Amino acid sequence: MKWMRWWGLGLLLTVCLPVLGDDRKVAAEPVDIAVYGQLPGIEHVALSLSGKYISLATQVNDKRILLVAEVGGSILHRIDLGNLKLRGLGWAGDDHVIIRTSSTVNLGFEYGGRHELFNLMILERESGDMDWPLANSKKVLNAAFHYHPPMMKEGRWHQCVDTLPLRHSTLTQDAWITNFDLELTCIDLNEGKMHLIERGREDGDGWLVGPGVEVLARASYDQQKQRWRLWAGAEGSTLINRVEPIREFESRYGSYNIVGQGRRKGTVIYAVNRQHLVEVPLSGEQGAELYGNDIVDSLHFDSVTGLHNGYTLLGDIPELVMLDPAHQARVVGTRKAFPNLNVHFKSWSRDMERIVVYTDGAGDSGTWWIVDIAKGSAEVLGVNYPALKPHHVGAISMLRYQSSDGLPISAVVTTPPGDKEGPFPLLVLPHGGPESRDYLGFDWMAQAFASRGYIVLQPNYRGSAGYGIAFRNAGFGEVGNGMHRDIQSGVAALAERGDIDPERVCILGASFGGYLALAAVTLDKGRYRCAVSVAGVSDPVSDLRKDEMHRAYASQRYWRDYFGVSSSRDDELDALSPLKHAKRASAPILLIHGEDDTVVESRHSKRMASKLKSADKPYKYVELDEEDHYLSRAATRQKMLKVALDFVIKHNPPNGVEP
């Protein structure tokens, strides 16, 4: 790039301060820990089809603000979203902003109580008018269960979503969900009208919607018979092969799914076990596997035709690859413009003349840029943590080591900033999932602990995503064994290098990572000074039984296989339950849980706290009011971070701090 500067019209002057100064001296004092718990200065950014307009979500005084602007020009709309939980932004053409949200909703006992339901709001760029189309309808539940890419029909943009049908009483205000078979509903964004495109089926498993809002393909999944089928066209369409599926497979976990259109018109791409990708003609002819052994995180599609035009490789740093050579050249050139930084491609115009990238690492706590290819420029949109200067950011690196059985493991390591000398105390921070992974980049929680003098280890233990299906499968039946060996081998590798003191280790995890933290001090005793579980699973038995009660057959099979048991009544499952072994806790335990968590209900932490109290074990339970599973609010995120840090410092103090 020829030059880099701030976006001249001061779009974010009330939000962000200059970011990448030259001052990299050692900080005399670390910044307030609350800074790390703030929501990022910018959460989501999206360019319109032509790249002429941009929408972004930012934070001002703990409120989410939506900005819509002309790139390089004036702000068109500044909308206060309050504490609305924003989950994503997109565009339909140049005229409509698609705003994806979620909220915790109590549907009542009959429908399983509280759920985290997703929704969408539409903003019309020219007028600034906003609309909640699903909320305005009496025909569907006010929730979106899948977002399809916007498509044009007869010159007008449509947004299609999967919905649940509602029926209303003619005598009262009562309404009820007719059935739980998802329907395909499309919204005409110009007129605001909703249209039912396809009714749901009990075995329905999604649709592929193409230009003209035409259903190009659909899938079905029989959970009991474990059969996944791919069909051409809508149900009852005149396309060939409408009676017989064009593909049919056994699928134990329901892990086949339609991804999108192929590279050519008349083809569809489906995923196998969420990793292998296959492109097949809708005519049913022979298909081909895409990208061989490359591990693909996501596919990208043309915003008008819907045809596949690129993909992101999953690795320590995700890598965008575009199929058009000219577009790929712009990707490569953009990446080269940010040497020594991790570059993440977040949004781009259809012609890739304008690109939004996010950078982090090497003293960068997270910066958003807009790249203009024609001008050869990169301009800063804003930064995620303005108070964090380059010298506040701890170094981030990958650690490669072998587990005790020889399995290669990778882990992210964050070290304290500055020139402090070790060996340091260690915080192990296992990810959730378990089919997830940690990346080489700025992690607000890891950096918070590193700023207080801890090395932070984030191991991608067996079963993690991003290392192939064999590595994923290596996690099955190894929850209480191999996973802990992977973590402990990482601790040993850091100790062997002299980086950490192996006698000064705590473990903190969230969700499934919270389960691993609890298991580390109840099932695998004596290795840790303390454990922190944030929204963690304490008893896998209860969740398995819940799946059985709701006849979630695929989920049952998955978790049974993962824990290596045959049913929720298997005696071996009790051996993997921290709750059942609370009296064996070998270190103090901190339990933190959101009141509104619908993914891992707060009863997991409450029951664990009760068991620890009965066993006279040291523990603390903290409930986060009005917080969900994802720590979506700044105040509760900051509270969690302060309580967790105080707890770890008390039981595993950093260098220079007396216990």
| Segments making up each domain of the chain, as ranges | 394-539+582-651, 540-576
pLDDT at residue 2 in the model: 35
Q: Note the pLDDT of residue 550.
A: 59
Helix (H, G, I), strand (E, B) or coil at 475: coil
- State how far the alpha carbon of 32 is from the alpha carbons of 17, 35, 267, 375, in Å: 17, 6, 54, 39
**Rounded to an integer, what distance in angstroms lies between the CA atom of residue 82 and that of residue 59?**
10
Give ∠ CA 636-640-646 in degrees, rounded to 5: 145
CATH architecture of 394-539+582-651: 3-Layer(aba) Sandwich (3.40)
Predicted confidence at residue 24, as pLDDT, reads 43
Lookup: tokens for 415? 């070290």
Query: How far lies 344's CA from each of 87, 268, 317, 380, 627, in Å?
Result: 18, 27, 8, 14, 29
Specify the DSSP class assigned to residue 601.
-
Long-range contacts of 598-604 (CB under 8 A, 24+ apart): 598/104, 598/114, 598/115, 598/116, 598/628, 598/629, 599/116, 599/511, 599/535, 599/628, 599/629, 600/511, 600/514, 600/535, 600/536, 600/537, 600/629, 603/542, 604/536, 604/537, 604/538, 604/539, 604/542, 604/579
**55-75 burial, b for 16+ CB within 10 Å, e for fewer?**
bbbbbeeeebbbbbbebbeee
Q: What is the pLDDT of residue 59?
A: 86
Question: For the residues of 85-100, what is the DSSP string, one character each?
Answer: EEEEEEEETTTEEEEE
Q: Which residues of the chain have pLDDT under 70?
A: 1-28, 171, 235-242, 547-552, 658-659
pTM for this model (two decimals): 0.90
Of 450, 344, 338, the closest CA to residue 397 belongs to 450
pLDDT computed for residue 251 by the predictor: 85
Locate tokens 């050869």: which residue? 376
Q: Tell me what pLDDT residue 17 has.
A: 33
Q: How far apart are the first and last CA of the chain?
A: 51
Sheet holding 424-428, edge to edge: 396-402, 408-414, 455-460, 424-428, 500-510, 530-534, 589-594, 619-624
Backbone phi, then psi, for 559, in 5-degree steps? -75, -30
Bridge-partner residues for 141, per DSSP? Answer: none
Judge contact between 529 and 504, C-beta under 8 A: yes
User: In this predicted structure, what is the pLDDT of residue 122?
Assistant: 97
Euclidean distance between CA atoms 167 and 176, whole angstroms: 6
Look up residue 148 and give its DSSP letter.
P
The CA-atom distances, in angstroms, between 365 and each of 51, 380, 599, 601 are 26, 14, 29, 32
